[in-house]
């Protein structure tokens, strides 16, 4: 378990703030007719203007056949996460689009995702976005020193269950900071009082992924994009959170 120093925490706070500002600007670009690649190019421009680096670009997760080719993951509708931006993928009215970004500021990493509506979306999609955002809030609230990772997982799962959404199990939150993915895993389901202890100075990315239908997802031929097995919509929200004396502190906040 990596405990961050005061100096590291200062840098992560600044990085998180920058990342939140960038995603907020990218969000404003989302509208019908825009390609997912345009969002990626814009995000990379904003990141580099700040003197920082995109954490996902050329990142090679274990087992991947080739490094990730973009600064953003842009996942539309039934794409759950890790959608690769493409000039041919044009957003249209009624879509929902997950935008996930990692930022490297002074050698330290923060990670954040939002899901955004494209124009007007139907009531079911609106509800999915709302519940996924609230599930993240529940997870964040449980990220306190003295709790265990399973308490975060359980807070998310127990909040989501009544809505009958599929909670994606094969992907999870994670420690973050000195690298983009660190220990511990932070699943979006689990039993309270289980898993690693949460201690002061830990930094974790909490990121529920909720599906309108089945929890099952299928990795696509590009080696990165996950889609829902039943092609129903999926939403994803993520914050990087510091475990501080005062409680959970969201770092990816403006
Ligand atoms: Mg992320
Ligand atoms: Mg993450």
Ligand 1 centroid, distance to 67 Cα (angstroms): 16
User: Is 1 a residue whose pLDDT tops 90?
Assistant: no
Ligand 1 centre to CA of 194 (Å) is: 24
**62 compared with 215, residue with greater pLDDT:** 215
Give per-residue pLDDT as tens, 201-252.
999 999 999 999 999 999 999 999 999 999 999 999 999 999 999 999 999 9
CA of 5 to the centre of ligand 1 (A): 23
Quick one: which of 116, 151, 168, 159 has its CA closest to 134? 159
Determine the average pLDDT of the residues in 184-190.
98
Does the structure show a pLDDT above 90 at 182?
A: yes
Whether the pTM exceeds 0.75: the reply is yes
Sheet holding 234-236, edge to edge: 166-167, 209-211, 234-236
pLDDT for residue 15:
98
pLDDT at 163: 98
- Residue 55 is predicted with a pLDDT of 98
Question: Which pLDDT score is estimated for 105?
Answer: 98
What local confidence, expressed as pLDDT, does residue 131 receive? 99
What's residue 90's pLDDT? 98
| Spacing, Cα 185 to ligand 2 middle (Å) | 10
To which H or E segment does residue 12 belong? helix 6-29
User: What is the pLDDT averaged over residues 92-98?
Assistant: 98
For the chain, helix (H) and strand (E) counts, in that order, are 4, 15
Indicate the domain borders of the chain.
6-250
Examine the pLDDT at 94 and tell me if it is beyond 90: yes
What pLDDT band is residue 62 in, cutting at 50, 70 and 90? confident
CA distance linking residue 190 with residue 132, whole number of Å: 17
Are 91 and 34 in contact by the 8 Å Cβ rule? The answer is yes
Query: Separation of 187 CA from ligand 2 center, angstroms?
Result: 11
Expressed in angstroms and rounded, the spacing between residue 81 Cα and the centre of ligand 1 is 9
**What b-and-e string marks burial along 206-231, b requiring 16 or more CB atoms within 10 Å of the CB?**
bbbbbbbbebebeeeeeebbbbbbee
What mean pLDDT is reported for the chain? 98
Beta strand 203-206 with 239-244 is antiparallel
Reported confidence tier of residue 129, pLDDT bands at 50, 70, 90: very high
What pLDDT sits at residue 213? Answer: 98
Mention the CATH class of domain 6-250: alpha beta
- Examine the pLDDT at 68 and tell me if it is beyond 90: yes
- Ligand 2 centroid to residue 75 C-alpha, Å: 14
> How many A from CA of 111 to the centre of ligand 1?
5
């Amino acid at each position: 378990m990596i405990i961050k120093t005061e100096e590291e925490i200062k840098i992560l706070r600044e990085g998180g703030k920058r990342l939140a500002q960038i995603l907020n600007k990218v969000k404003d670009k989302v509208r019908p007719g825009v390609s997912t690649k345009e969002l990626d190019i814009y995000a990379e421009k904003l990141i580099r203007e700040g003197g920082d680096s995109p954490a996902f670009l050329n990142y090679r997760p274990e087992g991947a056949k080739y490094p990730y080719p973009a600064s953003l993951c842009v996942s539309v509708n039934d794409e759950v996460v890790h959608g690769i931006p493409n000039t041919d993928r044009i957003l249209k009215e009624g879509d929902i689009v997950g935008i996930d970004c990692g930022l490297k500021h002074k050698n330290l990493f923060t990670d954040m995702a939002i899901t955004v509506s494209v124009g007007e979306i139907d009531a079911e999609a609106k509800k999915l976005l709302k519940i996924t955002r609230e599930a993240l809030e529940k997870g964040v609230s449980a990220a306190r020193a003295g709790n265990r990772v399973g308490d975060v997982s359980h807070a998310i799962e127990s909040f989501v269950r009544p809505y009958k959404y599929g909670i994606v199990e094969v992907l999870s939150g994670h420690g973050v900071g000195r690298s983009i993915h660190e220990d511990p895993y932070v699943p979006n389901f689990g039993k309270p009082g289980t898993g690693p202890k949460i201690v002061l100075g830990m930094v974790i990315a909490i990121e529920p992924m909720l599906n309108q239908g089945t929890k099952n997802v299928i990795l696509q031929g590009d080696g990165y994009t996950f889609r829902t097995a039943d092609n129903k919509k999926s939403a994803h929200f993520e914050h990087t959170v510091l475990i501080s004396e005062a409680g959970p502190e969201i770092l990816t906040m403006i």
